[in-house]
């Protein structure tokens, strides 16, 4: 039996979403409620879970596609391997090639634990962490997570990236350093920094683009003015000077102007 994986109901006032990336490929085995794809709207990033266990037989909407509510994203085959309990994609594919049993089984058993471990680690990553790891081409197994049960957080990846320039600078080529000119350390740092941190322009995501648009609108619509109100505080200052000594002796605290402001606000509210 085949099941259609559809776009869930989008948040209020959101008409469409952008498909960020698939976490599975056609022919891969997926478990029920396992995250299949991430959708980005102007407000949030949505995870689309698998409605059932089976093999992802067809992907209809590719990465970067614009999708709407209830659009069909993929086709899931739930009867591809009904007797298996959580098999890997390599075990679920029906192959027409008859290979020697001993060598084929040995190769699959040696490759399966590493692939399943990587898929399990990737499945527990949040969309923000997963996107950052893909953009920076980082192995998540090399980062120590500080979240619950050792889960990776966005701060863990950022701290890992901030430590990389130190390591690269330590192993930087000697041609960037001029031993005969020890009095110019600033030029050396500039050369190393530009070599380690190259600039790269990438398109903004929908979420960041919408945030930038709202910030610009807020700046343009904000009232740029300042109001000054002058109040004659002569009587209040005389009253404070008259009673501040006794007030401090009785309450062990200095008499400030806030008490008079509160009293004036109360009288104004009564009127």
Q: Which of 47-56, 74-83, 167-176, 213-222 has the lowest mean pLDDT?
A: 167-176
What does the alpha-carbon distance between residue 73 and residue 21 come to, in Å, rounded to a whole number? 12
Q: Residue holding tokens 């994203």?
A: 73
Q: Which of 29-43, 120-134, 199-213, 252-266 has the lowest mean pLDDT?
A: 120-134
Question: By C-alpha distance, which of 37, 5, 31 is closest to 18?
Answer: 37
pLDDT of residue 120: 57
Chain centre to alpha carbon of residue 200: 19
List CB contacts of 95: < 8 A, sequence separation 6 or more. Answer: none
Under 8 Å between Cβ of 54 and 77: yes
Q: What is the mean pLDDT of residues 217-226?
A: 83
Question: By C-alpha distance, which of 203, 188, 264 is closest to 233?
Answer: 264
Residues 81-116: tens digit of each pLDDT: 644 444 444 444 434 343 444 444 444 444 444 455
75 beta partners: 4, 58
Identify the residue with better confidence: 217 or 268: 268
Would you state the structure tokens that stand for residue 96, as one six-digit string?
Answer: 């027409």
Domain boundaries, the chain: 2-87, 238-270
Residues 141-162: tens digit of each pLDDT: 888 777 766 777 877 888 888 7
pLDDT of residue 101: 43
Q: In what order do the strands lie in the sheet with 72-77?
A: 2-6, 72-77, 54-59, 29-30
77 beta partners: 2, 55
Question: By C-alpha distance, which of 194, 38, 40, 42 is closest to 122?
Answer: 38
What does the alpha-carbon distance between residue 257 and residue 57 come to, in Å, rounded to a whole number? 74
Would you state the structure tokens that stand for residue 100, as one six-digit string?
Answer: 């020697």
3-state secondary structure of 22: strand
Indicate the CATH number for domain 2-87: 2.40.50.100
Under 8 Å between Cβ of 15 and 31: no
Per-residue pLDDT for 25 more than 70? yes
Would you state the structure tokens that stand for residue 97, as one six-digit string?
Answer: 């090639």
Q: φ and ψ at 166, to 5 degrees?
A: -65, -40
Residue 119: how many CA atoms within 13 Å on its side-chain side? 21
Q: What pTM, to 2 d.p., does this model score? A: 0.39
Residue 16: how many CA atoms within 13 Å on its side-chain side? 9
Q: What is the mean pLDDT of residues 183-187?
A: 44
């Amino acid at each position: 039996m085949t099941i259609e994986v559809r776009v869930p109901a989008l948040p209020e006032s959101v008409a469409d979403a952008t498909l960020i990336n698939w976490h599975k490929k056609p022919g891969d085995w997926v478990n029920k409620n396992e995250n299949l794809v991430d959708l980005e709207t102007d407000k949030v990033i949505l995870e689309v879970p698998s409605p059932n266990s089976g093999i992802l037989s067809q992907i209809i909407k590719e990465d970067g596609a614009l999708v709407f509510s209830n659009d069909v994203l993929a086709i899931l085959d739930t009867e591809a391997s009904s007797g298996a309990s959580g098999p890997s994609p390599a075990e679920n594919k029906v192959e027409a090639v008859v290979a020697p049993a001993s060598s084929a089984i040995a190769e699959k058993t040696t490759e399966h634990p590493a692939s399943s471990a990587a898929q399990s680690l990737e499945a527990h990553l949040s969309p923000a962490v997963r996107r950052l790891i893909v953009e920076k081409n980082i192995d998540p197994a090399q980062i120590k997570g500080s979240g619950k049960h050792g889960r990776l957080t966005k701060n863990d990846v950022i701290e890992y990236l901030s430590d990389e320039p130190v390591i690269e600078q330590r192993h930087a080529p000697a041609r960037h350093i001029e031993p005969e000119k020890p009095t110019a350390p600033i030029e050396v740092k500039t050369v190393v920094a530009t070599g380690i941190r190259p600039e790269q322009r990438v398109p903004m995501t929908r979420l960041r683009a919408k945030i930038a648009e709202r910030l610009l609108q807020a700046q343009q619509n904000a009232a740029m003015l300042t109001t000054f109100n002058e109040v004659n505080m002569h009587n209040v200052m005389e009253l404070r000077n008259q009673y501040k000594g006794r007030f401090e002796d009785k309450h062990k605290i200095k008499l400030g102007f806030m008490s008079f402001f509160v009293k004036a606000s109360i009288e104004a509210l009564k009127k």
